[in-house]
Amino acid sequence: MVRFTTPMSALKSLIPYVVLFGSFLGLSQKDTPLSFIDLNVYSGNIARHNGDIAHLIKAHPNGFILGWNKRVSGDQPWHSRYNYPEFGASFVAQQFNTIELGSSYGLYAHYNFYFLKRRLMLRLAQGISYATNPYNKLKNPKNIAFGSDLLSGTYLMLNYARPQLFGAIGVQVGLTLLHLSNANIKAPNTSINTVAFNVGFTAALEPNQTLNQRPILDENFDKKTQFGFLFRTGINQSDVVGSSQFPFYIISAFAEKRLNAKSLIMVGAEYFNSKFLKEYIYYQSVAYPESNVSSDLDYNRVGIYVGHELLFGRFSIQTQLGYYVYAPFDFEGRVYNRIGLKHFVFSNWFVSATLKSHAAKAEALEFSIGVRL
């Protein structure tokens, strides 16, 4: 197995540069690169979010994040409203330094948002990662974190950044949270969360671009309550290793109201037809007769939810909190939550990808199509 020895040695070698760049904190800088690449190396710890993964936490994971970034044009009202963020793509390599977990390699799309006169950068990234050593009942039975080799990946990076500090070269330092999970598409799936310290360099591809801040423009929007419907689907599996994968279908009706240029709120009701739950109920009735679960217990569920959307032009970030008003079988409790991305492809038609969970325990990765009336 190949091990990343470079990131740890790089972290040590970069300490003098971190100290040096700290001496420049009082300097002002008006120019920011229009586009740049960055390389961050990191080392950290696996968070023990589940006691079942204690045997997998043996060493400090490390790796690197290589990114390409380009500032938005400023032509849309939301560009100035969000302080001219950057969009980009990144490659993430992570070595867990345990035989059971192996390593992972992922491709991500991301946005960088800036605060404190563009000195503080927050990156939100979502993508797909490949795990080199997932669960295998014969070859790797201890890896209960990853039940498949393809995983959904998310990472958050909070950096103090100084672009173009030495000509086209800049530096940054901060913290990164990396999450890997297959969203219960295949069991087992306890997931891995890595909390890491990172330090890196930036290299401006189009340097010395003065950030011409434009006034925040008023944006007309409909303040009336609007209604709509959406259909969600996908495949998932119960936590029973070796059980089958099944499709699920969700029909939702919602009402939403725009609050301001950045956000809207919503309420909704939805019907869940999750085929995996039908098999899981039967499994419980046979494997655990003392639980008194009837094999023909209704597996359908009905929920209500409230939610919020943070708006970026035709894109938005969705967060929702729901409650099952009808759920004859108690699967992970009555409360559920959802987070994801939404994009309007036409004036009133949209698509979305969301992760539905019960607290930190994922149930399904949902793909949706919907319409606003």
For 128-157, how does the pLDDT look when each residue is reduced to its tens digit (9 = 90+)?
999 999 999 999 999 999 999 999 999 999
pLDDT at 3 over 60: no
Average pLDDT of the segment spanning 260-274: 96
* Secondary structure tally for the chain: helices H, strands E: 4, 16
Domain ranges across the chain: 6-204, 226-372
What's the pLDDT score for residue 211? 67
CA 121 from centre of chain: 17
pLDDT digits (tens, 9 = 90+) for 22-34: 444 444 444 678 8
Cis-peptide, bond into residue 141, ω within 30° of zero: no
Q: How far apart are CA 29 and CA 211, in angstroms?
A: 10
Split at pLDDT 50, 70, 90, the class of 50 is confident
What's the pLDDT score for residue 360? 80
Average pLDDT of the segment spanning 265-273: 98
Query: Rounded to 5, what percent of the chain is helix, strand, coil?
Result: 10, 55, 35
pLDDT digits (tens, 9 = 90+) for 179-195: 999 988 998 989 999 99
Identical fold, 6-204 and 226-372: yes
pLDDT at 164 over 50: yes
What's the pLDDT score for residue 194? 96
What's the pLDDT score for residue 32? 78
226-372 belongs to which CATH class?
A: mainly beta
Average pLDDT of the segment spanning 41-53: 91
**211: nearest Cα among 28, 24, 27, 34:** 34
CATH of domain 6-204: 2.40.160.20
Split at pLDDT 50, 70, 90, the class of 334 is very high
pLDDT digits (tens, 9 = 90+) for 246-259: 999 999 999 999 99
Q: Cβ neighbours of residue 149 under 8 Å, at least 6 residues apart?
A: 130, 131, 132, 134
Split at pLDDT 50, 70, 90, the class of 12 is low
Q: Is this model's pTM higher than 0.75 or not?
A: yes
